[in-house]
Amino acid sequence: MTIPPEEGTRAYAERVLVESGLLEQGGPLHKRPNRRGEATRDRIIQAAVECFTEYGYTKTRVSDITHRAGTAQGNFYRHFTSLDDVFLAALAPALEDLASPSSRQDRRHGELESLIDASTAYLTAYSRHRHMLRLLREAAAVGSNDGFRTLWLRVRQDYVDRTLRWLERLEQRGVLSPGEDKPMLAEVLGCMTEQVAYVHVGMVPTAPRREELERLGVALGTAWFRTVPRRRTADQEEEIGS
């Protein structure tokens, strides 16, 4: 789930939350009044991550979070208006981390290695926030706030759109086989990446070790490389015809 490199990651997280109707323009996502308030707010957010992870999105209560954070409910409401509000604050670092643009080089030589590197970087970022990203899918599926479904679809579509722009660059350079349905190909590549991350990183009992993330990155990057149909060179055409 990457974004155009010209947009900062924090700006991206705020933008998609505003466009999903979950945050007002200029809302309190990153506002911190003072050092003491910042420490309390951070403690509440960390407690929220732990509670959402342990109890799930639908079963977590404000009292669970404040008990875990060792603070009063009054302090909670000084920083957040609702459970959804603190969920967004807990989710924002994941959106920001995944928004860091990964490189998919368009050069023919080294392209496979670049795809493997980009896939591994994405899976590694996903692993850092795997609980919250899994919970976003839960909130999108069963939550009463439609904004979470809109957010999940929006973040997902941003990834597909970035992939489409990469395919268009390949086509312009004469690398991509002509006549391909690029929007559908981008959608398929996005689905493949999302499912690998969700099943093999988000749903496993413990976070994958570095070696397993690298193994998954090799498999995913290689699948991208082999899925994208490339124009045959003159030598390849001659070999087929012989």
133's tokens: 């990203």
SS (H, E, C) 97-165: HHCCCCCCCCCCCCHHHHHHHHHHHHHHHHHHCHHHHHHHHHHHHHCCCHHHHHHHHHHHHHHHHHHHH
Task: Give the model's pLDDT for residue 231.
Answer: 83
67's tokens: 């008990």
Give the H or E element holding residue 64: helix 62-69
Per-residue pLDDT of 38-64, as tens digits, reads: 889 999 999 999 999 999 888 999 999
Q: In angstroms, rounded to a whole number, what is the distance separating the alpha carbons of residues 159 and 165?
A: 10
Q: In angstroms, rounded to a whole number, what is the distance separating the alpha carbons of residues 66 and 85?
A: 14
| Number of helices (H), then strands (E), in the chain | 11, 0
Asked if residue 202 has pLDDT above 90, the reply is yes
CB 226 within 8 A of CB 219: no
Q: From the centroid of its chain, how far is CA 117?
A: 16
Question: What percentage of the chain reaches a pLDDT higher than 70?
Answer: 82
Mapped onto helix, strand or coil, the DSSP state of residue 24 is: coil
Per-residue pLDDT of 84-115, as tens digits, reads: 889 988 998 898 888 775 555 544 447 899 99
Is 1.10.357.10 the CATH classification of the domain at 1-230?
A: yes
